[in-house]
Amino acid sequence: MNKFLVFLEQREGIVKPSSISVWNRVQGLAALDGNSVVSGILAGPVEIGQLDGALGGDGVIYHAKEDGLRVYNQERYSRVIADLFEREACTALFFADTAMTRDMAPRLSVRMQASLLNGNALGEGDAAGVSRRVYSASFLASFVPTRKLRIYILSSSVRVVEFPDGGRINFIDIEPLQSTLKDLFPVVRRIIMGEGPPDVAEARIVVAGGRGMGGVESFALLEQTASLLGGAVGASRTAVDAGWRPHAEQIGQTGKTVAPVLYFACGISGAVQHLAGIGSAGVVVAINSDRDAPIFNVADYGLVGDVHIVLPKLIDLLKEFLKKQ
């Protein structure tokens, strides 16, 4: 029997949608093989009512509510997870792909002597490997675990089928950590949150701009478009290196890999390094004045034109369209 443990990440008391998504994916996996039990671990005090209707399947979620876990602490979080994993004799640990999990998971892999697999497609069966794009997203590589215990970091994929039905979830509080040290380094002292739009790696719709935008002011058009669509602004490396947008918005080889359902590439030529970041995107729309730009080879829809003319028109049309909704 498989015993799966899913880590539910919270920041400022809000459980991340990416974690909820992983819970549902793992429930889907368990439903397929009929031989698995799914539990969850929630670190930090959280108002659990927010999860009503969001979690599918059945299972127990262990809630480590102590205040010392309110903010991410690498050592404390690792101990809570590893202790519970061992106590419950779990066989696989699942994480969503976030800055926090990428910080913790490799250490846990060594500590627990568990195979660490990161990818966005999860194989079935006992060998349960993953696959993901490598070499600037030009190859698909599959990886399998060699150890009995496994840790998975699952990145979001637009093609994943979610497990929708609300289930019977029991929340059980777990004992606080025995810890005599007041601060276990590294310690998060402050979190400075940006205002407004969702992070580009978490947004459902991304409107990205590149060299063709011509300058920092033109990105206002992308901000407007993104705002109307409830999405986030992204940028190519050129735009970031030129100082037009911050690195946090960069998409590509040395930026983020994103998997939105809809991706706009505006004034982006489509260099291989940029495409590396959008391999898992859903529908790709390219707007570029150069009909031969490589971006059109990976776009579902293309509009050949000057972004400075196309975008304002698109914005007006969107405003009208949304009014009618």
Partner 1 sequence: MNIAVCVCLVPDTASVVGYLDGAVDYSRVNVVMNHYDEYALEEAVRLKERVEGSVVTVFSFAPDSAREVLRKALAMGADRAFRVSCSGGGDLSPTEPFLTALGLSRAIAAFYADRLPDLVFCGKQSTDFQSAQVPSMLGELLGMASVSGITSLQITGDLLRVEREIEGGIEAIEVTFPAVLSAEKGLNEPRNTSIRAVMEARKKTVGLLEVSLHEEPFVVMSGIEPLERKKICCFVPDEHELLRVLSYECNLL
Q: Which of residues 115-134 bind partner 1 (CB under 8 A)?
A: 115-118, 129, 132-134
| Secondary element (H or E) of residue 297 | none
Binding mask 215-254 for partner 1 (x = CB under 8 A): --------------x-----------------xx-x--xx
C-beta of 60 vs 229, nearer to partner 1: 229
C-beta of 177 vs 314, nearer to partner 1: 314
Which listed residue (20, 81, 213, 262) binds partner 1 by CB under 8 A?
262
Residues within window 28-67 making contact with partner 1, judged by CB under 8 A = none
**In the complex, what is the shortest distance from the CB of residue 115 to partner 1, in angstroms, rounded to a whole number?**
4
| Secondary element (H or E) of residue 8 | strand 2-8
15: helix, strand or coil: strand
Whole-number Cα distances in Å, 200 to 11, 27, 96 = 17, 27, 16
Q: Select from 48-56, 141-149, 163-171, 218-226 the region that touches partner 1 (CB under 8 A).
A: 141-149
Q: Select from 52-60, 80-88, 101-109, 160-168 the region that touches partner 1 (CB under 8 A).
A: 101-109
Whole-number Cα distances in Å, 216 to 171, 240, 255 = 48, 10, 19
Residues within window 176-215 making contact with partner 1, judged by CB under 8 A = 185-194, 198-199, 201-202, 205
Which listed residue (47, 50, 87, 99) binds partner 1 by CB under 8 A?
99
> Comparing C-alpha atoms, which of 292, 252, 293, 288 is closest to residue 270?
293
C-alpha torsion 224→226→227→229, nearest 10? 120
Which listed residue (157, 275, 280, 307) binds partner 1 by CB under 8 A?
275
- Separation of alpha carbons 125 and 90, rounded Å: 16
| Secondary element (H or E) of residue 205 | strand 205-209
